[in-house]
Structure 1
Amino acid sequence: MKGFKNVVYMSLTLGMLFYSIPQLEFRDVGSLPMVFSSIWIVMALLVTASHLHQILGVDEEKRKEMSRINRMKKWQLEQLVQGRRKLLQFRK
């Protein structure tokens, strides 16, 4: 279910891209319509690539590693706080 949203968005982006390519102008090199068309296509391809990247799960291993690191930092912070509580109790 996680990748379903990415598949739908990527499909919509590709559909929008294929619909718009025949209507974009590429005749005059350096003209404003050609620059706009080129930038628009590049942006659409970047959006498609980012959704494909998510679908393939390239960052899954990195996400697991970051989760493990965050759990360890949280545990260390808890140990530090508990240690200070013990020190404060001895001072009373």
Structure 2
Amino acid sequence: MKGFKNVVYMSLAVGMLFYSIPQLNFREVGSLPMIFSVIWLVMALLIIAAHLHQILGVDEEKRKQQLRINRMKKWQMEQLVQGRRKLLQFRK
């Protein structure tokens, strides 16, 4: 379901881009309408690229590695806490 949501949002962004390109002003170099058009175009392309990045799963391996690291840290913390409990039991 998560990938489907990214496909829908990316499709909407691409549709919005195709609809707006003919209406953006790129004729007058250095004018405020052209600066706005360029910034708007860059933002739309960044949104499309971000969704494409998620769809392709580029960070999937990195996410799996981070999950393994977090599990190991949790396990180490549990071992540390259990070790302290044992030390407290011996002191009584």
- Normalising to structure 2: TM-score of the pair? 0.96
Task: Report the Cα distance in structure 1 between the residues aligned to 2:87 and 2:32, rounded to whole angstroms.
Answer: 70
Q: Give the equivalent residue in structure 1 for 2:2.
A: 2
Structure 1 counterpart SS, 2:90: helix
Task: Report the Cα distance in structure 2 between the residues aligned to 1:30 and 1:78, rounded to whole angstroms.
Answer: 61
Moved more, 22-31 or 5-14: 22-31
Shift of 1:89: 1.2
Shift of 1:53: 0.6
Cα displacement string for residues 24-69 of structure 1 (whole angstroms, at most 9, x for unaligned residues): 1111111111111101100100000010011111111111111011
Shift of 1:91: 1.3
Q: Give the equivalent residue in structure 1 for 2:72.
A: 72
Task: Report the Cα distance in structure 1 between the residues aligned to 2:36 and 2:89, rounded to whole angstroms.
Answer: 68
Give the alignment of 1:25-64 within 5 angstroms. 25-64=25-64
Q: Is 2:71 aligned against 1:86?
A: no
For structure 2, the 5+ residue unaligned runs are none
1:14 maps to a residue whose letter is: V
Shift of 1:2: 2.4
Shift of 1:22: 0.7
For structure 1, the 5+ residue unaligned runs are none
Structure 2 counterpart SS, 1:3: helix
User: Alpha carbon RMSD of aligned pairs, Å?
Assistant: 0.7
2:10 maps to a residue whose letter is: M
Q: Give the equivalent residue in structure 2 for 1:14.
A: 14
Structure 2 counterpart SS, 1:84: helix
